[in-house]
Structure 1
Amino acid sequence: MRVALFVPCYVDQFYPQVAIATMQVLEKLGCTVEFPPNQTCCGQPMANSGFEDQQAGCNRVIVDAFRGYDYIVGPSGSCVLHIKQHLNHEDETTAAQIRSRVYEFTEFLTDVLKVKIIDARFPHRVGLHQSCHGQRGLHLSQMSELVAEPFSKPEQLLHMVEGLQLARLDRKDECCGFGGTFCVFEESVSAKMGKDRVADHERQGVEVITGADMSCLMHLEGILKRQQSPIKVMHIAEILNGA
């Protein structure tokens, strides 16, 4: 199974350890992982700001970088969803193949590799933040307002980790307030929403907040640091890579 590692630009710049952990977990599970070096931003910031027509250059780079792979896997639900829904190119056949083959990390583990056992140990109390893009766009977990059987792909994987104690949040699918450019244009609202999410985790006595989208975790980490909180943030790939 030939897998291309899709590393969002903010992960590359600020959290390279997340990309490394993602690659190592995939390799442990038997995948041949390659990192196309010419990849760049998926174009989501422009689209979020109403300038999707200006992301043509990003689309060309994505198509050139990821053509021909069996799967493309990235540790960011929002960036993966953007490619799934907004990748356009004059070579529509290749673009359609990429849109159908790109997966968020936990989605790939549960739906494609169908992982049942993970050799990982993390003896800490952990709170799971379920990001909006992952939950409502990629359907990584059930939305609480729906009358349906609950599920969570990230939670399913965390239950496989030895020693990990998963906290039960009061409002487990509430938005953290990051929202890409929303946190820039609505700074006060975004910060208050983030503080509410942090407070929920604090009430449950967690040591670590994890999730499948490092952008949301980056937002929460900024609030935690400003509050001088001892709570850390870690991408779920880092926890699943723990020995």
Structure 2
Amino acid sequence: MKVVVIGGTGLIGSKVVGKLNEHGHEAVPAAPNTGVNTLTGEGLTEILQGASVVVDVSNSPSFEADAVMEFFRTSTTNLLRAEAEAGVTHHVALSIVGTDRLEENDYFRAKLAQEELIKASGVPYSIVHATQFFEFVKGIADSATEGDIVRVPAAKIQPMYSDDVAAAVARTAVGTPLNGGMEVCGPDAFQFDEFIRKGLAAENDPRTVVADPHARYFGSEIEETSLLPGPDAHIAETRFTDWLAQKQ
């Protein structure tokens, strides 16, 4: 089975390609650095020839409100149109747990617009909603730092390992289209400040982490359960503490 992975040279995409190839599929990475640009349409017709499945794990280079919305609307529209012309029978997209609960967030709103385009396209589809990745713990902390204080929401988070995200996406890609969404998450829920504190401690980072009900998560105030998956989520195996330990 030929599977084209849009964003296939990035963190998740490269792992999806690897997992699919390991299982005997023909996974082809597609990204601007391989001559495929979903914003302009360059290379799409050629790369999709003979493809049964398209996996979209691409991301906007800018998170500014207009830019991120333009990226997901334009690239998704171009991609879905090319898929319909090529006879692709399954479109898989990676999204985020909570897109429908944080529409005031520019990025989440753009991802929700992407999902709506996919649902209306007529191409059979599956949307994988994942929780935050372990790998971004320091980036989250950096974005929330004032001086030597990291101020994070008084909320819960159930993060997961990027390898487990890729595995879920790869499994979905070779399965029957859901024509709906599914959620995947890590095995443990943390208070947000606990998650950040553990991540920084593993790096001997001395910053102080504080929970603040008014602290923003990439620009948005969130409620305690805004980032948590529902009861039917698929729970991955890798624990945050084990991931931290294997990094040492």
- TM-score under structure 1 normalisation? 0.37
The structure with the greater share of residues assigned to strand is 2
The structure with the greater share of residues assigned to helix is 1
Decide which structure has the larger Cα Rg and report it.
Answer: 2
